[in-house]
Structure 1
Amino acid sequence: MSVDINDIGSQKVKSIGTGESVELKAFWDDQNVAIIFFRRWGCMLCRLWAKELGEIAPVLNKHNIKLIGVGVEEAGSKEFVNGKFFDGDLYYVENISTYQTLGFKRFNVVTILTSLFWKQSRDAIFKGRGMGLGGDLKGDWVQTGGAVLVEKGGKLLRHFVQTGPGDHLSNKDILQHFGLENEYNPETMANKKPEEKECTTEAKP
């Protein structure tokens, strides 16, 4: 799906920390930015993605690339902040239509539960459990998310849409789009594969 950067930029988000309302375009007015749209603050797989991003946060910061996390709602955000899962600024959208504008689809209860049996989900669940990330039932279960990488001034570098809850834009992909592939370290925690593949699907999506 192609998206218009102007349509994205006009969408408003609210700071979890201050309550300030800002348009997304404000984030790329004066610097490059990676904006991650999480599907649910209490989702263990979202917490895993947030922790993975922490591995490249110092690289992004060094190159003046802002890391932003956005949620579909405020519910569950306090626990996400207190858990220190994300090394960046956190917001939530003022209207769910922002996720629709970005092409992030909604599952239903049956399809979201089925998606937890996909290999990418099972691997992520196993990894998240191993890291003790936990999860809860708060918020919108069926919304998916994604990410946008934007160059200073508003050039869209990457528009990523999740196919399922365990689908994450990799750290390597993010760095490559900002021309920082030489600083990618495949031996970090974020990029190691779980040693075992078998797990149950008791995680809260």
Structure 2
Amino acid sequence: MVTANQALKVVGLFIAYLLKSIIDLFLTKPLWASLKVLEDTDLRVTGGIHETYKAKALWEKTGAVIMVVRRPGCLLCREEAIELSSLKPQLEDLWIPLLAVVKENIGQELDAFKTFFTGEVYVDQKRALYGPVERYMFMSALLRIGVWRSLWRAYRKGYTGNIVKGEGLVLGGVFVIGPEDQGILLEHREKEFGDEVNLLAVLRSARKIQDCLATVK
């Protein structure tokens, strides 16, 4: 026999699913990135060095794993930075760099983010890696159970952040890009705040880079 608590739980889950479905109607659908556009993107070095590179130079020989950061001061972005950084030893064994891209260089915020992320960080001022169509999330985030779960998860792990410094509405993601003409092997686009990439998928894609390089050799 169904108890009152079980019935309430089912109703609650149904309402949550219904809300998510309605909110998703207003979220811009992601479009797949163009490798050509990504390659021609200007990325500026951080850390007081005034140099700019074409993004292609960062992966054309070795490939790369790239975190596209929504906002460096966000506790959810810091959590994902730590988790991606946990792959650094395995990526180093494959000779694949771990990189991050931010939208803007906000001094202390970026310095703080670098304590969570072990790779090089670049600024994509034109936000090409956030496109080809930028996807925004506004107040609807407050109605998404997944966002609250992610915040609670990060909070319980001890992560902290702020909600006021820097642009944080344009969603980010993660790329795994192969060398030369191997192309984009993994393209994870955030569906909501705290929508983290699958780390096993990142490693599987990174190993494809190594397999390709081994074949070429």
Asked if Structure 1 and Structure 2 have the same fold, meaning a TM-score greater than 0.5 normalized by the shorter chain, the answer is yes
Distance of aligned partners of 1:19 and 1:130 in 2 relative to their CA distance in 1, 3 Å threshold: farther
Q: What's the secondary structure of 1:111's corresponding residue?
A: helix
**Partners of 1:73 and 1:112 in 2: CA distance:** 22
Amino acid at match of 1:12: D
**Partners of 1:16 and 1:118 in 2: CA distance:** 35
Is residue 158 of structure 2 the alignment partner of residue 127 of structure 1? no
Alignment partner for residue 34 of structure 1, among 53, 65, 78? Answer: 65
Alignment partner for residue 43 of structure 2, among 3, 7, 13? Answer: 13
Contact 1:104–1:162, Cα closer than 8 Å, also in 2: no
Residue identity (%): 23
Distance of aligned partners of 1:98 and 1:53 in 2 relative to their CA distance in 1, 3 Å threshold: closer
Question: Structure 1, residues 16-51: CA drift from partner, whole Å, max 9, x if none?
Answer: 222321111111121020111010011110000001
Deviation at 1:175, TM superposition (A): 0.6
Gaps in structure 1 of 5+ consecutive residues: 181-205
Q: What's the secondary structure of 2:136's corresponding residue?
A: coil
**2:18 alignment partner in structure 1:** none
Distance of aligned partners of 1:107 and 1:124 in 2 relative to their CA distance in 1, 3 Å threshold: closer
Question: Structure 1, residues 89-143: CA drift from partner, whole Å, max 9, x if none?
Answer: 1112122354232x441123x12333xx423x33322232233221012011211
**2:4 alignment partner in structure 1:** none
Amino acid at match of 1:8: L
Is residue 83 of structure 2 the alignment partner of residue 52 of structure 1? yes
Count of matched residue positions in the alignment of Structure 1 and Structure 2: 173
**1:80 alignment partner in structure 2:** 113
**1:106 alignment partner in structure 2:** 136
Deviation at 1:67, TM superposition (A): 0.5
**Partners of 1:123 and 1:57 in 2: CA distance:** 27
Contact 1:39–1:144, Cα closer than 8 Å, also in 2: yes
**Partners of 1:87 and 1:4 in 2: CA distance:** 27
Q: What's the secondary structure of 1:140's corresponding residue?
A: coil
Point out the structure with max Rg over C-alpha: 2
**1:170 alignment partner in structure 2:** 198
**1:189 alignment partner in structure 2:** none
Alignment partner for residue 153 of structure 1, among 160, 180, 190? Answer: 180
RMSD over equivalenced CA pairs, Å: 1.7
**1:91 alignment partner in structure 2:** 122
Q: What's the secondary structure of 1:139's corresponding residue?
A: coil
Distance of aligned partners of 1:104 and 1:118 in 2 relative to their CA distance in 1, 3 Å threshold: farther
**Partners of 2:141 and 2:152 in 1: CA distance:** 17
**Partners of 1:27 and 1:37 in 2: CA distance:** 14
**Partners of 1:5 and 1:97 in 2: CA distance:** 11
Contact 1:104–1:161, Cα closer than 8 Å, also in 2: no
